Amino acid sequence: MSIIFGAQDATVDYSVDGWGHLPALGPVSFQIEAGQFVCLVGPSGCGKSTLVRLLAGLQAPSAGLVTINNEPITQPSVQVGLMSQEANLMPWRSVIENIALPLELAGMSSSERGHAVNSILPRLGLEEFGNAFPGELSGGMAQRVALGRVLVASPDALLLDEPFGALDAMTRERMGMDLLALWTDLRPTVLMVTHSISEAVLLADRVLILSPRPGRIIADLHIDLLRPRQLSDTHSLRFGELARQVRERIQQS
């Protein structure tokens, strides 16, 4: 099934003890088409993670609507994979056991799980580390395992909340390109939060820019760089122009 995300005038207010209501997000309205790769950028605290949680079905909007394929989102969906900034691996489980966790929870047999995990390990560059434990992995490898745990359930959409935020610049670039290769093969709908303008422009079809809290969409930029994309595209004139546009919109907000 392909997944189209939507929001119509969605807002989130948090109630803060002894203080009242904190408007955290919106109103926001948008549609993300099936198979599209969208990056979401905006200042810290503007409501990006809040928006991700709405689309993941982990919380409901205070007003307005969020939808998957035009149906209101009322609970998390197995078709939507969520990955956050921390890998959150279980230290007592091996790489294979960590990746297999969602399948185990879904009641899949051990042989089916083994098959699914083994088909995904090489795509993550982890084929030699299946029996390693999280404490033996680098930060980048741990994030690959976290990505594997999301991908193993063959989701039709990915919600990625700063998935590479804790990584050094070079590892981050490599992970971005690996994610792009996986997306090209599997074509899930992707919404990815990032603080990196160049990462957003290099990966995305569209960049949504949020204002400071409560975040509203102040720009929706189409990224017209040709695909397949390569790291060397970051040296092109068009890339520089698009990155400048994103930076200017953020600064104006």
Ligand X SMILES: Nc1ncnc2c1ncn2[C@@H]1O[C@H](COP(=O)(O)OP(=O)(O)OP(=O)(O)O)[C@@H](O)[C@H]1O
Binding footprint of ligand X on the chain (CB under 6 A):
14, 16, 22, 24, 44-50, 213
C-beta of 13 vs 233, nearer to Mg ion:
13
Minimum Å distance from CB 163 to Mg ion?
12
C-beta of 46 vs 152, nearer to Mg ion:
46
Minimum Å distance from CB 178 to Mg ion?
23
Long-range contacts of 115-118 (CB under 8 A, 24+ apart): 116/152, 117/148, 117/152
* Distance of alpha carbon 137 from alpha carbon 84, whole angstroms: 18
Minimum Å distance from CB 46 to ligand X?
4
Minimum Å distance from CB 50 to ligand X?
3
C-beta of 11 vs 84, nearer to Mg ion:
84
C-beta of 125 vs 165, nearer to ligand X:
165
List the single partner that 44 binds among Mg ion, ligand X, none, CB under 5 to 8 Å by kind: ligand X
Q: Which residue's CB atom is positioned nearest to Mg ion?
A: 49
Nearest to 198 by CA among 228, 164, 166: 164
C-beta of 50 vs 94, nearer to ligand X:
50
C-beta of 69 vs 85, nearer to Mg ion:
85
Cα distances from 204 to residues 17, 35, 37, 199, 247, in angstroms, run 39, 11, 5, 8, 15
Based on the shown chain and the rule CB under 5 A, indicate whether residue 49 belongs to the binding site for Mg ion: yes
Minimum Å distance from CB 50 to Mg ion?
8
Tokens describing residue 211: 């204002």
List the single partner that 47 binds among ligand X, Mg ion, none, CB under 5 to 8 Å by kind: ligand X
Minimum Å distance from CB 200 to ligand X?
13
Q: Which residues bind Mg ion (CB under 5 A)?
A: 49
